């Protein structure tokens, strides 16, 4: 029953039935990966305003990731993230991602009360550095590209469904595959490889999905069928 409960945990609705069940879901898993990256940025010393603005710019959404956390509550966010970080079972999620969803060296490892205090402390006006924001935006992109292609490659969800889900439920201007087409598949892979190096220095696994590798070798944009 405990495992069934973990399968049912969600931060946002999954608008499409999954093609097969896996801990974390599809859209929720993508969102969690981005939240954990935001948490690592904060743990590195980036400010709340920097991370919030970078996450908003990355996907041209009206709400940044940190505002989302405050809106739904840190307790709910943590419950979901802890369920992904669990190493108690060698299930498909654990085998595929290893410690990618670990809370090690992550601000989301703090208590909800501590998180609330940190988020409420930063009230002073802050001039945001454009180069820093661009760097953080690209980190968010790399995470989105990897998880999106893994989900589609593993046949958890259809490409077009994930595109639509990110726009409908997360408010993104473009889905992850359209975004890869925008930046170019070679540049998308370059960002991913850089993020692999960053993650490995922190002893965090950052798996590059076969589907993304194959698309890079073909050197063609993703075919996104219109509904």
| pLDDT 10s digits, 18-69 | 999 888 999 999 999 999 999 999 999 999 999 999 999 999 999 999 999 9
Structural Rg of the chain based on CA atoms: 17
Domain count across the chain: 1
Any domain includes 6: no
Say what the pTM is.
0.93
Any domain includes 86: yes
Calpha distance 223→56 (Å, rounded)? 26
Any domain includes 14: no
Any domain includes 7: no
Any domain includes 12: no
**Using 50, 70 and 90 to split pLDDT, how confident is the model at 126?**
confident
| pLDDT 10s digits, 168-183 | 999 999 999 999 999 9
The CATH number given to whatever domain includes residue 189 is: 1.10.1040.50
Tokens of 42: 């904060």
Question: Please, what sign has the CA dihedral across residues 49, 50, 54, 55?
Answer: negative
Nearest CA to 106 among 55, 41, 40, 201?
A: 40
């Amino acid at each position: 029953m405990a495992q069934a409960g973990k399968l049912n945990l969600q931060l946002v609705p999954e608008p499409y039935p999954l093609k097969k069940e896996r801990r974390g879901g599809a859209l929720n898993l993508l969102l969690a990966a981005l939240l954990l990256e935001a948490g690592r940025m904060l743990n590195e010393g980036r400010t709340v305003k920097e991370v919030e603005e970078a996450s908003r710019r990355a996907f041209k959404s009206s709400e940044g990731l940190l505002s989302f956390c405050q809106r739904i509550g840190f307790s709910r966010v943590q419950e979901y993230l802890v369920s992904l970080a669990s190493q108690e079972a060698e299930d498909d999620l654990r085998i595929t991602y290893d410690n990618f969803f670990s809370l090690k060296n992550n601000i989301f490892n703090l208590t909800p009360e501590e998180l609330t205090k940190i988020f409420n402390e930063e009230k002073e006006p802050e001039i945001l550095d454009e180069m820093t924001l661009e760097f953080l935006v690209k980190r968010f992109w790399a995470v989105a590209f990897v998880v999106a292609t893994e989900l589609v490659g593993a046949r958890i969800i259809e490409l077009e469904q994930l595109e639509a889900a990110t726009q409908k439920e997360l408010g993104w201007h473009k889905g992850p595959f359209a975004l890869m087409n925008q930046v170019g598949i070679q540049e998308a892979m370059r960002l991913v490889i850089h993020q692999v190096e960053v993650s490995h220095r922190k002893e965090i696994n950052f798996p590059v999905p076969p589907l993304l590798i194959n698309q890079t070798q073909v050197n063609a944009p993703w075919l996104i069928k219109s509904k």
